[in-house]
């Protein structure tokens, strides 16, 4: 059997092959160019990573300067000024009343691993060694490192990989917190943290206000830490700088990645609230976590540049206006019978799709629909029986019309193939 190519892409069968029209060669603005010379409009912000558009000059220049001035500096047992400036900028952006320390990581998955460790150590040092359970949501996605893979609530072959889930629990988010409440009644004194995505990345389902209210109330009652995984929702994706800015109280840990560097560098960050940070400082505890490429000069220079750019464009105003346009687009698709439901929040929209007989789509059928939409000139993201629209913040009216047209044509063609 012939091996298709040296490159082994993520989340596809190992025998997958790619024609030239599927091999990307460059990306500028909101457009991706492929090896055959064709171009497609990217309506996924490069997998959530590029809200400021591909090749943002300010970010590129910041990374270039950092790689020339300080090609590599480590955060192992020593600081450097690039990371100090980025940490200060992140705390200022997220509100220093809520967060006081920053731990740099390399990806959302690795950052979720770190957050699980941080919560367990917090309770261990406080003499509550039984508080080791971490609770996540059914249908959530937090990554595929061993810790984050266990925490992810989707079925992702965890049993095949012998992922240890004995210290992880999953509850529904769609019942306004009833299952979470029941779990706490049984095991609340053993729960170290509850980890939630404000909008679930794999399904674009936003947590209800009732769920968030109950989550916060249960924290008051049982004392567990709340970790907000804002890898997908951070940096104004939902209309506020962080989705949790609308909560009545802040989480104890905020996880950021993806848009953190506008996709220029692999990076993530944990913003640690005062409750946790004060205990670690007061106890002189060492958090045993380190990643060689975390918080390098290039990564942290990119973070500062992204924050400056978000402020320059007034990202919250821009995204609220774009969200209104997206909502109208989605509503038209729904009223015309092209999509069965609209989920998500702000500039993170899920479009439910049914087959010609009204049934849910398999994963393969969703991927085929995404492929047909791409053939019509627009890149969208697959979800469970749905597609997702996650446009960059600079999308204009003409680009939204192109998205509308490609989705309509793609869904119609896909339905014809299944009828």
pLDDT in tens, 355-392: 877 788 888 899 999 999 999 999 999 999 999 999 99
Q: Which of 312, 341, 365 is the last residue of a domain?
A: 312
Domain that holds residue 141: 57-312
Torsion over CA of 368, 371, 375 and 376, rounded to 10 degrees? Answer: 80
120: nearest Cα among 193, 211, 223, 25: 193
CB 390 within 8 A of CB 48: yes
Assign residue 8 a region (left: φ > 0; alpha: ψ between -120 and 50; beta: otherwise).
beta
Residues 331, 285 share a domain: no
Name the domain count of the chain: 2
Query: Which residues, 6 or more positions from 364, have their beta carbon under 8 angstroms from its beta carbon?
Result: none
Per the domain annotation, does 36 fall within a domain?
no
pLDDT digit string (tens) for 81-115?
999 999 999 999 999 999 999 999 999 999 999 99
Is residue 12 in a domain?
no
Same domain? 328 vs 222: no
> What sign for the dihedral angle of Cα 209, 215, 221, 227?
negative
Alpha helices in 95-247 (DSSP H): 108-125, 146-151, 178-187, 209-222
308 and 361 share one domain: no
Residue 18 lies in a domain: no
Cβ atoms 313, 62 nearer than 8 A: no
pLDDT at 1 (0 to 100): 67
Residue 83 lies in a domain: yes
pLDDT value of residue 120: 98
Q: Under a CB-based contact definition with an 8 Å cutoff, are residues 327 and 219 in contact?
A: no
Q: Which domain CATH number covers 337?
A: 3.90.1150.10
In a domain, 80, yes or no: yes
Query: Is residue 371 located within the same domain as residue 390?
Result: yes
Please tell me the predicted confidence (pLDDT) of residue 354: 87
Same domain? For 248 and 385 the reply is: no
Q: Has residue 50 been placed in a domain?
A: no
The structure tokens listed for 290 are: 């380190």
Beta-carbon count within 10 A of 375 CB: 15
Q: Are residues 80 and 213 in the same domain?
A: yes
Of 291, 312, 333, the residue at which a domain comes to its end is 312
Q: Are residues 174 and 307 in the same domain?
A: yes
pLDDT of residue 419: 64
* 344 shares its domain with 266: no
User: Does a structural domain hold residue 25?
Assistant: no
Contacts of residue 128, defined as CB under 8 A and 6 or more positions apart, other chains included, come to none
User: What does the alpha-carbon distance between residue 269 and residue 110 come to, in Å, rounded to a whole number?
Assistant: 10
Q: At what angle do helices 297-312 and 81-94 cross, to 10 degrees?
A: 30
380: alpha, beta or left? (left if phi > 0; alpha if psi -120 to 50):
beta
CATH code (residue 163): 3.40.640.10
| Burial status of residue 244 (CB atoms within 10 A of its CB: 0-12, 13-18, 19 or more) | buried
Whether residue 192 contacts residue 225, with contact meaning beta carbons closer than 8 Å, is answered with: yes
| Position 10 in a domain | no
- Is residue 337 located within the same domain as residue 281? no
Given a cut of 50, the residues of the chain with pLDDT beneath it are none
Does residue 271 share a domain with residue 318?
no
Residue 115 near residue 193 (C-beta atoms within 8 A):
yes
Last residue of a domain, one of 293, 312, 331: 312
Pair (329, 294) in one structural domain: no
Structure tokens at 258: 């993806």
Tokens found for residue 9: 């892409």
Co-location of 172 and 75 in the same domain: yes
């Amino acid at each position: 059997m012939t091996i298709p190519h040296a490159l082994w892409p993520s989340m596809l069968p190992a025998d997958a092959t790619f024609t030239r029209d599927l091999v990307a060669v460059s990306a500028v603005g909101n457009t991706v160019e492929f090896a055959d010379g064709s171009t497609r409009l990217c309506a996924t912000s490069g997998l959530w990573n590029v809200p400021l558009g591909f090749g943002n000059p300010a970010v590129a220049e910041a990374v270039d300067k950092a790689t020339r001035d300080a090609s590599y500096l480590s955060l192992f047992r020593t600081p450097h000024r690039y990371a100090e400036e980025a940490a200060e900028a992140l705390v200022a952006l997220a509100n220093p009343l809520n967060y006081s320390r920053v731990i740099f990581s390399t990806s959302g998955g690795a950052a979720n691993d770190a957050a699980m460790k941080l919560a367990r150590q917090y309770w261990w040092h406080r003499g509550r060694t039984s508080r080791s359970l971490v609770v996540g949501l059914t249908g959530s996605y937090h990554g595929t490192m061993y810790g984050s893979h266990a925490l992810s609530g989707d079925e992702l072959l965890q049993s095949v990989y012998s992922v240890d889930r004995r210290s992880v629990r999953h509850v529904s988010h769609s019942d306004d917190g009833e299952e979470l409440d029941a779990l706490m009644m049984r095991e609340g004194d053993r729960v170290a943290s509850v980890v939630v995505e404000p909008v679930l990345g794999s399904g674009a389902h936003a947590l209800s206000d009732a769920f968030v209210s109950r989550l916060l109330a249960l924290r008051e009652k049982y004392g567990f830490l709340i970790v907000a995984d804002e890898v997908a929702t951070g940096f104004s994706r939902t209309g506020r700088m962080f989705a949790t800015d609308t909560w009545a109280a802040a989480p104890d840990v905020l996880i950021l990645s993806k848009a953190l560097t506008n996709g220029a560098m692999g990076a993530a960050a944990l913003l640690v609230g005062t409750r946790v940070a004060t205990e670690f400082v007061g106890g002189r505890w060492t958090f045993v976590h380190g990643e060689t490429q975390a918080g390098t000069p290039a990564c942290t220079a990119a973070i500062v540049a992204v924050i400056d750019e978000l402020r320059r464009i007034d990202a919250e105003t821009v995204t609220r206006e774009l969200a209104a346009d997206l909502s109208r687009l989605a509503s038209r698709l729904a009223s015309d019978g092209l999509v069965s439901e609209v989920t998500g929040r702000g500039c993170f929209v899920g479009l439910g799709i049914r087959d010609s007989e009204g049934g849910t789509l398999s994963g393969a059928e969703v991927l085929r629909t995404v492929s047909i939409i791409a053939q019509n000139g627009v890149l969208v993201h697959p979800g469970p029986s749905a597609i997702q629209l996650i446009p960059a913040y600079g999308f204009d009216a003409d680009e939204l019309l192109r998205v509308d047209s490609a989705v309509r044509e793609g869904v119609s063609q896909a339905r014809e193939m299944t009828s």
